[in-house]
A and B are shown apart, each in its own frame.
Chain A
């Protein structure tokens, strides 16, 4: 640099940008030190002073830029950079950062110019091509952008994301072969958080390419089933909890529906069960202040003894849809109940387990354009209990239940179901064998603001081999579900009232009445669900010693749904 140009720069620096310098900024010690006192001639001294002055000004401008940039004062930081560009012998810093700042300001044309210049100057900051490529992409210069992302990969900067961009650009340019290669390359990279963040989207895009190719083929349905759906499922499986996962799942359902790969709705519009398999495990701990017979027993004298109880249950079912009108749902329920107090025979006699396979079916149709279903269920129940109070579980009884029902939609507020049920119970003690005919009515009421009410009414006639135990019963149950409180817990209130007529013992027992209010608080945590429960039961009977009782049940139940 000539002396004249140095002097000119000095004059410029002092007149224009020096006014904008921050006077109170601390100067780094090495910059404020005076030049070493070596014997030089006068013109040489002047030149060194000028050079030092330029260096000081350059550093102050860098500081100024830095402070503005850190405060996100991008317009001001750009001014500092432009002054720096004019004054500095090292333009690379200024040009590169002008590109970056213009990207932040979304002035992509300016940033492209800056990066182009930096590229010509062979500036090669690690992330420059990534930023350059983004600016080119924003300006719709897709092929140059793809090339720049390629250079970013050479610089080993944001490799998975750059590959994704290259894939996406190729996909946009309908260069599916290249797009497929770029997307697939991401999977072969070393594991990193960035790869994890990008790979799922890449595999989803890959699946989308398969869809495009399948649509062009002779048999789109087959191609989508064979290639696209498995790829979507692979993408989904990479991270089922990601924010993209629901979108992928939605896409799978959409394609399955569109290409008739899976039944999503029955002929009458009723949604099918997805996924088809339902599996639930639950563990409940409760304290019952007055344990009465819990297993399949007709006889149940009041105990007036409390005990903690553990109950473990498994419930699973799988839905089959042989046609758009018929559903077949095999189900299995098993549970085991253990009374923790093991010293009182009248309590531990209630320890039991039961196994209940069932087959539920429905026929779907419409009445007056509204969804209706005819229901036919069959249940078999086997139960074992400590019937002999010997701390061992023996055969207690088995029950066969047949149910015929009808689900209707004549009320706009919710579905109505009527059922007839026949239950045949065989006890370990045949005098307790019984048959029950039951008629029930269920009404769902969906109320405004997320409130729901469920009403069940039932009339049951039980004929026992020992006829003195015959009963007629009338039950009414209300369940009221309120919206979640502060998005945290859902309360359910219930109230059951039962009138039981042991007509062959009416003299001693009279018409028995039972009232059973309860409350349940439910909170879900992903697959987990916790229930806090309380129930109060008051049974009023003329027979004060055996059938008249009161009890409280406090419980906590933890469920896991697969």
Chain B
């Protein structure tokens, strides 16, 4: 499993792997928001937690089809399926690799974009914390969506149609935690719910995703 993880990380970091594209998308998104809704700082600081969460979610979505598609096309997914580790583990490792290369950089960069959008002072800790807890769920749910559409020629748009409704609960609790944190209210409940969704996804979705991969490799 560790060789698989390091292989996936190397493939993403080296030339043509697309590392950093998600971050660049996040940057452009955060730049475009003030053009869309106006530069007024009061308005920006009110929408900042939600906008930053949305940006992270969309940046995550963009890189989802890379999780399995290339491996499916060059046949390495078939090799992984016959390897002596269960498909569930392959899926989990690939989701972890996706999170390390997309989710984690977004979490670390979020405070910078928070400054651009005039996020209120107490919000930074909670924004980072809620993203840290929530983005693993985004990666895992996304891996499930990618597993469903891996056999399709042009699955990209379908992938977003399938995955975005599944992102709703994560988004609701994530933005709620970040917003309450920014307004100085108690954040415990949404954070715990968010953690529940993340842990539940990590525990159960590998099975669903592995089942989908097996069907697609038949």
> Do chains A and B stick together as partners?
no
Q: Which residues of B contact A (CB under 8 A)?
A: none
